[in-house]
Amino acid sequence: MRQAIKNMTKKLLSDNWYRLHKYSFDFQLASGLWQRQQREVYDRGNGASILLYNPATQQVILTRQFRLPTYLNGNSDGLLIEACAGLLDGDSPEVCIRKETEEETGYQVGAIKKVFQAYMSPGAVTEIIHFFIAEYSPEMKISEGGGLADEQENIEVLELGFDEAYTMIETGDIVDAKTIMLLQYVKLHGL
């Protein structure tokens, strides 16, 4: 049953980095009754993520970088192992992920394949992430990667065996949702 919304108002709470708004609205319940609700919604734009894999060597390229929110929520050193990713910033998902791949990993990949898109935290964040995979080989490496200094990224590039990376989900060494989803995709599709 499609739910209806009416009488929506929006109040800006913060515009420091991205936008945080408080919404008030009337939501129609399945019973037909209307209920007044309020939600805070963070709008940081949409993003893209990619898993680079080498079918010949059975390796993947991942990154490791400091993520303050994880540190604040129990990650003792704040370092997170992740698939390469970035915000679209007005680019198409394909243009964005090619740019991020070069900046973060140092690889200039050929064909990329979009495999799905997903909301990552739909209860509070508007962001949709577009997920890609691409094959890589050593000759595609054009720089050391590591991200942009002016964005204070300080990214470490990791080349891991696929089985090792996949096992890191179970051991808790990989806890980033987008990375887990991409590793699962590659595992399910036998790439």
pTM of the model: 0.90
Nearest to 130 by CA among 120, 140, 143, 121: 120
**Burial 163-176, CB ≥16 within 10 A → b, else e:** eebbebbeeeebeb
Parse the chain into domains and list their residue ranges. Answer: 5-43, 47-188
Q: How far is CA 51 from the centre of its chain?
A: 11
- Report pLDDT for 152: 66
- Report pLDDT for 191: 73
- Report pLDDT for 17: 82
- Report pLDDT for 146: 78
Q: At the topology level of CATH, where does 47-188 sit?
A: Nucleoside Triphosphate Pyrophosphohydrolase (3.90.79)
- Report pLDDT for 2: 62
For residue 84, the cross-strand partners are 50
CA angle 188, 95, 108 (to 5 degrees): 75
- Report pLDDT for 153: 73
Q: Fill in the amino acid letter for 116.
A: F
CA distance 81 to 25: 39
Those residues with Cβ within 8 angstroms of residue 152's Cβ, 6 or more apart along the chain or in another chain = none
- Report pLDDT for 3: 66
CA distance 169 to 81: 10
> Do residues 29 and 158 make contact, with C-beta atoms less than 8 angstroms apart?
no
CA distance 111 to 10: 42
> Do residues 34 and 24 make contact, with C-beta atoms less than 8 angstroms apart?
no
Q: Which residues of the chain have pLDDT under 70?
A: 1-3, 148-152
Tens digits of residue pLDDT in 131-159: 999 999 999 999 888 776 666 678 899 99
